[in-house]
Amino acid sequence: MENRSFYRQRVRTALLLTAGVSMLAVSGFLLSQSAATVLEVREISVPLVSDIPQFERRISLLTDQIELAQLHAATRTGSAEERMNVFVIPDEVDLDRLVGVFDVVGSILREQGLLARMSDITLGDPTPSSEEGLEERLLTVQLAAHEDGVQTVLSLIKFAGLLTVGDLLSSGERKLLLQKTEEENPTGVIAMEQFLSTDLLSYARDPDAFEEQLLRAFTSPSFLKTLQDMLQSSAVRDARKILGGNIGNSLQKSALWPLPLMTLHEARIRAGSASGWFVLSLQITLYNRAHVL
Amino acid sequence: MSQTHKPRRQSVPAATILHRSAVPLFLFALVLLLFLLCAYLFLIPRLTTVEIGGEERSTRELRAYHDALLIDLSEKEHERDALVLPMGDTAYSRLVEEKHAEFPLLVLRSSLEQTVRQLFPADQNTIYLESIRYLPNEKSVELAGDVRHVGSRSMTVLAQLLEELRSLPFVSQITNPRFVREEDPAIGPHSPFTLRMLLQS
């Protein structure tokens, strides 16, 4: 009888101890979870809470800008895509236009005394491009020109295929302008869209008119400075100088604008017979849309 | 003479200690557990939820909301950019970006010539640059020419030129040229070279 009571007492003690230790373990777990939750709040929630109102404000601004841009897009006539398909990356390389461009540029540079000689233009066979849906072919030409002539030819190759002011700017510059639009005047997105989609040749021939139109929507000195810095880049300056001069005029008169898309494949430059003169050998890649069988 | 008695220490068996501490331990653990459970279920959520966008959100919900906002923001930006810049992500725009990434040939040429001139300011003809070949797709430049008018030092001068070109900020790599000295009846001993340089992207 005494043995049984002693045995019961031991079992009770063991059960109480086991339950006590288990509850302590669970308490420890709960304590660590609570501490982790508090730490999480300090390290995660606080920074998130400071970001969220900013994100919500930007989303609201972007929604307004999208609505405005959609309304404006509905009233826009003639798309850049159509011009690209006809002139920039056509179904077939338009040899007449291509040779016409080199003729116009060559004759103006000769008149200015900047070009001594231009070789025949040779055109390679089309090969599939690394860009899906396109074919490319190499155009080879050599010219003996003054440094200014070389610069003009290289700049024209850079402008070849660019349709708008937006194309003249790098993706980083365009992003910066749109960001500034959000910060300065979100409703100015239409003015910005109009500026970026301005035909490059038209802009180069009368840059002040288009810039003034844009600046009517943005008056802050900060925006003005960003825009001025961007428009002082060498590409924009060259566009104004070359396309805004005789060459741009002749390209427009001869209906050669927009130029077909050309990228530089290889350029070799060596000193010419006189100081400041060079022999420039160029391999240029031309593009056309691949024929789907 | 008084005699001091030290109390004799009685040894208590461990079983007795455990038996006597079992109930207090159980009660303490139970109270602690109940308290922590209440805190974890009611107090902590109340203290750690934040009201954002008209709703109470826990840290996890806040993070999910933050991520959803980021995705929404990126989609809206993309949509706005597609409307403002209609040629967004097309073969055309990628080719135009390639053009922007090109190095201006004449700037490249004048930088290389300036490096050469700085190396030998007194004699501009020591390093003769015959041609510069630029391959935009490979982001590389080939510089061909020769070192002349320095007699038997032509190969040393070529090594100096190599070091100078390596230090240019826009050059990422130069393949070592063949160091040779040749005899030419017109210009004497000279070291022709073709240096292939990779440009920083």
A85 Cβ under 8 Å from any chain B Cβ: no
pLDDT tens across B126-170, in order? 888 889 999 999 999 999 998 888 888 888 888 988 898 888 888
Categorise residue B192: left if φ over 0, alpha if ψ from -120 to 50, beta otherwise.
Answer: beta
Binding-face residues of B in 140-199 toward A, CB within 8 A: none
For residue B109, the model assigns a pLDDT of 87
Contact (CB<8Å) A30/B69: no
B87 Cβ under 8 Å from any chain A Cβ: yes
Chain B: residue nearest A81 by CA?
A: B87
Chain B residues in contact with A69 (beta carbon < 8 A): 80, 83-84
Binding-face residues of A in 1-30 toward B, CB within 8 A: 9-10, 12-13, 16-17, 19-24, 26-27, 30
ipTM of the complex: 0.78
Chain B residues in contact with A132 (beta carbon < 8 A): 91
pTM here?
A: 0.75
**Could you tell me the mean pLDDT of each successive run of 10 residues in chain A, 293 residues long?**
77 91 95 90 84 90 88 70 86 90 94 94 91 91 94 94 91 88 87 90 93 90 89 89 93 92 94 89 93 66
CA-CA-CA-CA dihedral for B33, B34, B37, B38, to nearest 10: -150
**Could you tell me the mean pLDDT of each successive run of 10 residues in chain B, 201 residues long?**
57 81 92 94 86 80 90 91 76 89 88 85 80 93 89 86 89 87 84 91 72
Interface probe with B: pick from A132, A199, A264, most Cβ of B within 10 Å: A264
Structural domains in chain B plus CATH codes: 105-199 (3.30.1360.100)
A264 Cβ under 8 Å from any chain B Cβ: yes
Residue B95: which of A154, A132, A98 has the closest Cα? A132
For residue B1, the model assigns a pLDDT of 45
Of A27, A37, A263, the CB nearest to B98: A263
For residue B88, the model assigns a pLDDT of 67
Query: Which of the four CATH numbers 3.40.50.2300, 3.30.565.10, 3.30.70.60, 3.30.950.10 does domain A87-163+258-289 have?
Result: 3.30.70.60
Q: How far apart are CA A204 and CA A213, in angstroms?
A: 15
Q: How far apart are CA A86 and CA A98, in angstroms?
A: 13
For B54, phi then psi, to 5°, come to 80, 10
Cα distances (angstroms) measured from residue B154 to each of B73, B144, B180: 61, 15, 9
Beta bridge partners of A134: A289
Q: How far apart are CA A194 and CA B195, in angstroms?
A: 47
B72 Cβ under 8 Å from any chain A Cβ: yes
Cα distances (angstroms) measured from residue A73 to each of A69, A97, B43, B88, B172: 6, 31, 54, 15, 45
A107: closest CA of chain B, how far (Å): 22
A150 Cβ under 8 Å from any chain B Cβ: yes
Interface probe with A: pick from B46, B96, B141, most Cβ of A within 10 Å: B96
Of A20, A154, A261, the CB nearest to B106: A154
Of B26, B83, B109, the CB nearest to A73: B83
Q: How far apart are CA A132 and CA B90, in angstroms?
A: 10
Q: How many residue pairs bridge chain A and chain B with CB atoms within 8 Å of each other?
A: 200
Chain A residues in contact with B89 (beta carbon < 8 A): none
pLDDT above 90 coverage of chain B, percent: 25
Residue B165: which of B196, B138, B192 has the closest Cα? B196
Chain B residues in contact with A236 (beta carbon < 8 A): none
Categorise residue A181: left if φ over 0, alpha if ψ from -120 to 50, beta otherwise.
Answer: alpha
Q: How far apart are CA A256 and CA A278, in angstroms?
A: 27
Of A33, A44, A134, the CB nearest to B59: A44
Q: How far apart are CA B89 and CA B78, in angstroms?
A: 10
B119 Cβ under 8 Å from any chain A Cβ: no
A111: closest CA of chain B, how far (Å): 22
A167 Cβ under 8 Å from any chain B Cβ: yes
Q: How far apart are CA B131 and CA B141, in angstroms?
A: 10
Contact (CB<8Å) B73/A265: no
Contact (CB<8Å) B62/A70: no
A82 Cβ under 8 Å from any chain B Cβ: no
B71: closest CA of chain A, how far (Å): 10
B70 Cβ under 8 Å from any chain A Cβ: yes
Contact (CB<8Å) B48/A38: yes
What are the extents of the domains in chain A? 87-163+258-289, 165-239
Contact B22, A20 (CB under 8 A): yes
